Amino acid sequence: MKERTKFVLAAALVMGLCGTSFGHAPPGELYFAVQFPDNLVPTMDGDLSDWDVVPIDPYTIRNDRLYSPVADIQPVGRGEIDVSDINIRHLIGWNDNANKLYYMTEVFDNVHNLDRENPSAFWQDDAWEVEVNPDHTPTEEHNLEGEPANNFSYKWAVPPVEGAYQFYRPVRALEWFVDGSDFITFGWGYDGEQFGESTYYYELAITPIISMPNDESATPEQAVIFDLAEDEIIHTSVTVGDFDEPCTECALESYQGFWTMSPESCCTATNDVLLDQLLPEMESATAVEDVSWGQIKAAQ
Ligand SMILES: [Ca+2]
Ligand SMILES: [Ca+2]
Ligand SMILES: [Ca+2]
Ligand SMILES: [Ca+2]
Ligand SMILES: [Zn+2]
């Protein structure tokens, strides 16, 4: 425990430096991605019970951390969410051997709106958006004109409309960069009324990419993979867009709510997230299973 305390302090000092430059927001705040041992890696099936092993602190990101960055939508301060309108919980994790980042979000919403006529217009319906910039580049240097892409957006609106539910930016139509590929696995589910008061569950696993060509010619071989490692700090942010009523002439104000981890905006990864060491609790979850397996063997 002492080791861990010391480590968090060290990380805070690193953050102190990070926070003085632009494009790391909110400055001075560190978020934590839980390290999953191999035997506890979650399955991307929309059932979030495989995340129950994760300790609440310091990993859980709740309403009190979230921003409403667009005043035209809701001019409220950080954490000022009306939980009868929307109630959000995020967790982020990672696994070393799989070299994957994992995300889960639970969203209680008074109305799950999904009525877009254009199947691609995810921004007209309730949506979940995950931003990733693994090499921790300042926001001002994300996806610059003429440069390789270095901030990747994974956006989702479910259930699918005419098969459309997955949307990527800045490169949006690569056959090899889709759900079910080596790079992306997504799952979702819900309880309650599918298009009414409900709780939706989202799960995403991605292989983190540092950069790739920012056009339709990009090949999997050109994707430079980020090697996840303990104590690294990456940038990642998660956004929940809330519509409770249909819109035809949809504008920003048509959103009921727009809740982001980043104070900057929706579409770029700015939160400093530490790839945490393997917690003793998570390790012992492994050990317990080994012991009981041994006992089963012994009993045979
Ligand atoms: Ca799951
Ligand atoms: Ca709502
Ligand atoms: Ca809509
Ligand atoms: Ca809604
Ligand atoms: Zn940063």
For residue 102, which ligand has an atom nearest its CA? 1
Q: Tell me the pLDDT tens digit for each residue of 152-197.
A: 999 999 999 999 999 999 999 999 999 999 999 999 999 999 999 9
For residue 112, which ligand has an atom nearest its CA? 4
Q: How far is CA 204 from the centre of its chain?
A: 7
Does a structural domain hold residue 22?
no
Q: Which of 48, 46, 63 is nearest to 257 (CA)?
A: 63
Q: Which domain holds residue 58?
A: 30-299
Q: Tell me the pLDDT tens digit for each residue of 182-192.
A: 999 999 999 99
Does a structural domain hold residue 269?
yes
**Cβ–Cβ < 8 Å for 234, 199:** no
Cα(21) to centroid(ligand 1), Å:
37
Cα(294) to centroid(ligand 4), Å:
48
* Predicted model pTM: 0.89
Neighbouring residues of 294: CB distance < 8 A, sequence distance ≥ 6:
none
Cα(244) to centroid(ligand 1), Å:
27
Does a structural domain hold residue 41?
yes
Cα(50) to centroid(ligand 2), Å:
26
CATH, residue 151: 2.60.40.1190
4-8, 50-54, 74-78, 254-258 — which is least confidently predicted? 4-8
Positive or negative CA dihedral for 25, 225, 240, 249?
Answer: positive
Q: Based on the structure, what is the number of domains in the chain?
A: 1
Does a structural domain hold residue 170?
yes
Cα(196) to centroid(ligand 5), Å:
38
Cα(169) to centroid(ligand 3), Å:
20
Q: Tell me the pLDDT tens digit for each residue of 8-63.
A: 444 444 444 444 456 789 999 999 999 999 999 999 999 999 999 999 999 999 99
Does a structural domain hold residue 11?
no
